[in-house]
Chain A
Amino acid sequence: MTTAFWIISAVTLLGAVLAVTLRNLVHCVLALILFFLGIAGHYFLLRADFLGVVQILIYIGAVAVLILFAIMLTRNVTGTEGPREVFGLKWWSGAATAAIIGALVLAAIRRDELSKLPTSTQANSSVLEIGKLLVTDWVVPFEAMAVLLTAALIGAVVIALEEVLRRR
């Protein structure tokens, strides 16, 4: 378990780091996909099977593809290659800020007792259970989620489509 953890963590970290540092946009997205995979792996490790599958389906299957589409549509100016990153004030101040936050959070984690909890071997969550919950206790958020997604769909279409119509 521990080995699996370390390997998957390494993969995840690698993917994340690559995603924010690579110059080529498509490479960034591919690294992102790697990252998503790593996260999915962690979910499986944590015995949240359904969630892992959902992660792969949605994030890799939909979000990453969406990002790729966006990159394609905005390609004319930037190309797949982004310009050289300038390591100026903005870069350092941004990095410093993030580092500060990270350090603080890590320090907080270290201090807390809760962190010492060990792994458990409880049974997995079954998909049947989750399904039942969705239509009984959680039916309202479920439906609300449906509405939200519909709204997002329509909104995205409206925002992205407008120019096209006008150009005609």
Chain B
Amino acid sequence: MTPLTCAECRERLPEYGAGSLADHQSIKRHLGDCAECRREAALWREVSSAFAAEDTSIPPDTSAAATWTTVRARVHAPGQVRAESGRMTLTRSSKLDHIGAPVAGDTSPVRGEERPAPRWRSYAAVAAVLLIALLSAAIFGVMNGHGRATMVTAPKTCAPSQMKATLPAYASVASISMVSATDGWAVGEVYDHQQDAIPPQTLLLRFQNCAWTPTGDTIPTAQLYKVAMVSATEGWAVGATTKRQAISEDLNGHFIYDWEADQPFLLHYSGGQWRRVELPGVQRVIGVLALRMVSADEGWLLLDHGGVHTDPYTKAYSYTLLHYQHGAWTPVPLSFKEPTTILWDLVATAPNDCWIVGYGTALSDGGGLIAHYSGGDWQEWNGTIGGVRTYTYYTVAMTSTHDVWAVGNPMLHFDGKTWTSAGAPALSQPGGSDLMSATMISPTEGWAFFSPGPLPNRSNELPVLHFTDGEWQEQRITVVSPVHIESLSNLSMASPTQGWAIGAISIPTSYGAAVRGVLVYYDNGAWAVPPGQAG
């Protein structure tokens, strides 16, 4: 055997010092002859010991049993799907009754034992402040023709191969709203994760003539979350200003900053112009969950203020629901909500009618949550709904008030009178993912998409659920893309067979991976990322 050089030896000394090197005879021989490498071997042994000493400062493990109980409950939750021989199979467990531990939200840690008494804050004072007349404070931008519906004549029909996107570098799309096969809007942000001193700015894209292009109108130090068009001439978008916050440190030990949401604001598209509309009195948000317009005169906005610990094991989450009517956004009390309830999505298609889904996180209110607002009153379902034990709901989709899908674990359908899981098989959650986004194209067809899996996707194949022939079926779709797509979301249909969705791609940053949204074209079952989004 050829003796090792010092360089070869030193390369393996860290493993040798940790005692994990399987073939260490050649190292030992070299150390016998080389005092310099022996000193370095001592260093690596000390490093190993120093880490071991550091680990002793970690508090004693007292949660092993409690966490195992929750793991056990989660793996037995109905609708869990397990990978088997390269394909996903549906399982429906009946063991839950034997577990002895109620199951709370799917992703939350240890739960509190008692549900706090309802103490959702009174909205009276907030309402006084939030009776928001439309404050068309500033003209956000003039669309120079491409924003004017009256200018769109003889729209060009596009073949899939003609689709393209001319996006600025570091653009990330967050939401899409198609008006027709030839007209649509998308919003998001432009932000370079490697240049964290430079704030994000809003991204506003228009789809016309087979191409997505930025309008040129931006708001600095802000990002847009959602867009909801009512027609070619009327629509809304919602965003938030951002503020810089230290989140980690870089390779040299310097702080890394990120820009987090702060004050929300709206953009109103009318008369061919986007105008900024402030939301005075609304507290800081950490995100926007939903913006849904029913008509030019009515819409809903659900804002997320995040959670705060009320004790080491319990968090209270707060949200603001705004209802647009009579030209003003006014708050609607979420009277059904417990402090520990997490809300995720809202959908609305009819006047004075909306649906919200989420789940409880306390042991006493654990399980899926569905709330229906109708004419000023809330009706709530949670836990066991329609005879089915529910767990988590992250999204809701509907085509009418007689066709509502609570999408999650398990999938439930509302026919206008009752919730039922009949005809909706248990849904898969491959790799620990959850169903996070769904779009019903019609009462007979819909798509549901999972969150990214536990590991980076190494192919352009994605598991999805497709509602067709009266049932949800698992499919693996291929996204034609130059980059790996981690997940899909936010499918907005432009016609019965064509639409646009957002694909999440993972981009490396100095602190790990971040997600960026790209535009994905959907054409009758085929999915593709059009060129022009490489930045």
Q: Judge: A and B partners, yes or no.
A: no
